[in-house]
Amino acid sequence: MSHLIVKPHEKDKEGKVISVSPESAGWEYVGFEVYSLSEGESIYKQTENQEICLVLLSGRADVATSKSNFEDIGKRMTVFEKIPPYSVYVPNQDEFTVQALTDVEIAVCLAPGKGSYEARLITPDDVGQEDRGSGKMSRKIHNILPEQKEADSLLVVEVYTPDGNTSSYPPHKHDKNNLPEESYLEETYYHKVNPDQGFVFQRVYNDDRSLDETLSVENENVVLVPEGYHPVSCVPGYESYYLNVMAGPIRTWQFHNDPDHEWLFQSQNKS
């Protein structure tokens, strides 16, 4: 199995089923975890030096931090309802408790914090929605924590791609600290597939092909993108969801297109 794929493991005593740390990924900024909680179960964590965005992927829960309580949040019972999620931003040097009111799947997105902002609820109405691309490159975007919203490091977005379509496409990368042309951002993709026995393909490659992997990605797999271009293709009959977490030394998303495929932007703009 590729070192770029992280598969879910058996639920541990805390309910954790996915764990990616900077140490396990071999990078510096992004951490990512997924917890599966049954009704009545809870988790408690201290944030230490990390800021966190809790994304309620499915189910309803009470979420509390040291200073705030957000009761009975959550609406969608599956990500494929395609309505924006409830999320909670928690700064570093804080804590949080999640109490499951139904069965819950929650993503914990982590990156270095500076203590600049207070904990807050991000409601579905706060999430920017857009349709991006056209034709077989079209997809639906939910901007949960874009760079225009307050955070120290984290960028969080979720993407829906119809069956047979390709997203994160035309291919782009953000692996050079070369602003204003390009920013360095590590990235995780948390994939879900509908129906869940399906799969998608994701290619991760760089210009000199010292990294060049084409991955068959199943439901609830995480793909690590340490560098390079990283498009995702859906096979017919299966639609794709993924949650992206990005972070780097400067909190801005400036990407560089693969010059071999840049002509696709002109084609896309004409359609």
**What residue has token string 């399906």?**
198
Q: Please, which pLDDT band fits residue 171 given cuts at 50, 70 and 90?
A: very high
User: What percentage of residues in the chain have a pLDDT greater than 90?
Assistant: 95
Query: Which pLDDT score, from 0 to 100, does residue 267 have?
Result: 60
Q: Pseudo-torsion of CA 183, 187, 79, 62, nearest 10°?
A: -90
Separation between Cα atoms, residue 17 and residue 35, nearest integer Å: 6
Q: Please, which pLDDT band fits residue 265 given cuts at 50, 70 and 90?
A: confident
The stretch 27-36 carries a mean pLDDT of 98
Separation between Cα atoms, residue 33 and residue 132, nearest integer Å: 27
Between 265 and 270, the higher pLDDT residue: 265
Q: 184-236, pLDDT tens digit by residue?
A: 999 999 999 999 999 999 999 999 999 999 999 999 999 999 999 999 999 99
Shortest CA distance to 3 belongs to which of 225, 207, 245?
225
When the pLDDT of each residue in the chain is averaged and rounded to a whole number, the result is 96
pTM of the model: 0.96
The stretch 70-89 carries a mean pLDDT of 97
The stretch 50-74 carries a mean pLDDT of 97
Q: 201 and 230 in contact (C-beta within 8 Å)? A: no
Query: Which pLDDT score, from 0 to 100, does residue 58 have?
Result: 98
Q: Please, which pLDDT band fits residue 271 given cuts at 50, 70 and 90?
A: very low
The stretch 126-142 carries a mean pLDDT of 95
